[in-house]
Chain A
Amino acid sequence: MRVFFLKEALRALRRNAAPSLAAFATVLITTLVLGVFIPVVRAATAKTNEVRNKIELEVYIQDTASKAQVAELGNMIRDIGHVDSVQYISKNQALKILKHRLGSKSDPITQGLLQSNPLPASYRIHLDDPSNVGLVKNSLAPRGTDGRPRYISGAINDVQDREDDTKKILSATSTIKLLLAVLAALLVLASILLVANTIRLSIFARRREVEVMRLVGATNWFIRWPFVIEGLVVGFFGAAIAIALLWVAKVTVVDPWSDRFALIAAPRTISFTVLVLVLLAAGMAVSSLGSGLTLRRFLKV
């Protein structure tokens, strides 16, 4: 019996080639956009969270500070409440960390820049709870009578937390997210409507068959199945080809780039397998929603 449904659905697709193709193309484009949208949003969200979760204070030390001053500062920091641990990072260590982050393939310009070490030594303070960042910061640099911060030690050059970075990243990514979300929503809507239209035309083209089926007493679901399958076939192939294109793009464009430029390597994004499953499900959902919509309206049995 399954064979019968499939045969009927494919027969309808062949006879209804133009609208089927339009619906197929729309599902394909929708899936493509979703396929780009999901990893980008995931990456942006992950980066933002990473920054926010790692809230820590960095106390940059004057290059002119003496060793004794630096050691004294370390003890002072350890005495402040809510400080979980303190890590000293010397100028050389800071340079090493940066070089590591840039990767071995960093370009000549940055290499030239990094020849004389521009980075300051610092204390990196981990807090027991990110929400206490304001308290600790205040202890390090209490505001004086004129409202400007006065550092507790002359060795301190600057105190920074990552709050500002988080805000910057959030504002940049939220715009992109919003644009992509609107685009994706519109495309999803267009796909649903086009699939619905395809099915409607298909019902119209097969109205004699439907009439005969009703006449001889075929059950409602028996009449509906071929149309549902028709919609699912459109959705499946649209999604499958979009996924294939995404995979090609990943292998030829994204993977080499992320190898070459360590900086744009997506920190943590969705795995390709999961993405494939999500997109397939989305394509199928879009098309079954489309056919369901039409069947409800035009195939009252």
Chain B
Amino acid sequence: MALIEDSTHAPQARRGAGGGVAPVVQMRDATVVYPGGNVGLDGVSLSVDRGEFAFLVGATGCGKSTFIRLLMREVDPARGQVLVAGTDIGAMPRKRVPKLRRNIGVVFQDFKLLPNRTVYDNVAYSLQVIGEARSSIRSKVPEILRLVGLSTKLHDYPDELSGGEQQRVSLARAFVNHPPLLLADEPTGNLDPETSIGIMQLLYRINRTGTTVIVATHDSDMVDRMRRRVVELDKGRIVRDQRGGQYRTDAGTAEFEARFPDTADASTTGI
């Protein structure tokens, strides 16, 4: 598969960022408590370097979405520090939050497209509302839509597109400003495996331009294929942080296989 070949010999852009450059994401003991007492994240510490591609895995309710919402500062940390590009976003005044979000692209499982606007307008709208000049919108939007492979569907409405195409629009919208950090919350959750590969390829291509990509997912096939960093969360805590990891730890997979031998997939377990 082209995707895998790519990933094996393409060096990650500015990987590791040797010395002095602040990690794009750094959390120290970050804890999120929702009103009502539910703990979303519990003492999470990790650091994601510039240009990295990381998967966030774990069962539903393990805190993946909270992690992403925290980075967007849709929720405030109850304790600990969250730094994005060296800035403590927990201490950031509310007024600065929009500026933070302009530097973070986000993609969701449900696309969040505007149904009564065309593909072109959906992407253009996101630029309009941050006060982008019209001339720059006119040059940026067709370019990004060409990048995601939708240049022939500029004037279609979202419900005329397939799920994969809709997610591409959503990706185009997230990436049109070339943000240094791209977050994806279950980007392939609604898509079939074939389409998912296309989306992942796109995410990968975006990553190669130097953008840090963090993908929350439970698409095990995808994680295992990509062989990237995997951070596993459970009940809001990091239980595994593995470079070039797989969706499941081998032990876990073995146990899983033992219980449900029929679902075992030779290609992922490596037997």
Contact = CB atoms under 8 A, between A and B. Distances in A.
Interface stretch (A145-153, A211-219, A234-242): A211-219
Contact of B130 (A209, A211, A218, A301): A218
Contacts of A209: 114, 125
Interface stretch (B48-56, B81-89, B94-102, B201-209): B94-102
A214 B128 CA distance: 13
Contacts of B64: none
Interface of A is mostly: helix
Contact of A212 (B97, B103, B104, B114): B114
Nearest to A222: B129
A218 B114 contact: no
B173 A208 contact: no
A160 interface: no
Contacts of B173: 216
Contacts of A216: 101-102, 126-127, 129-130, 173
Given A208-B114, A212-B126, A217 B98 contact: yes
Interface residues of B, number: 23
A219 B102 CA distance: 10
Interface residues of A, number: 17
A129 B93 CA distance: 64
B252 interface: no
Contacts of B104: 217
The CB with the most chain B CB atoms within 10 A, among A213, A216, A217, A219, is that of: A216
Interface in A198-251: 208-209, 211-220, 222-223
Interface in B131-148: 131
B213 interface: no
A13 to B, nearest CB: 15
Contacts of A212: 112, 114, 125-126, 129
Contact of B101 (A1, A4, A214): A214
A215 B177 CA distance: 13
A219 B126 contact: no
Contacts of A223: 129
Contacts of B102: 216-217
B70 interface: no
Given A215-B101, A219-B98, A1 B125 contact: no
B106 interface: yes
A212 B72 CA distance: 13
B76 to A, nearest CB: 13
B129 A218 contact: yes
Interface string A1-35: 10010000000000000000000000000000000
Going nearest first, the 3 A-B pairs with the smallest beta carbon separation are A217-B101, A217-B102, A218-B129
Interface of B: 72, 94-95, 97-104, 106, 112, 114-115, 125-131, 173
Given A208-B115, A215-B72, A216-B173, 19 more contacts: A208-B114, A209-B125, A212-B112, A212-B114, A212-B125, A212-B126, A212-B129, A214-B101, A216-B101, A216-B129, A216-B130, A217-B98, A217-B101, A218-B98, A218-B129, A219-B130, A222-B129, A222-B130, A301-B94
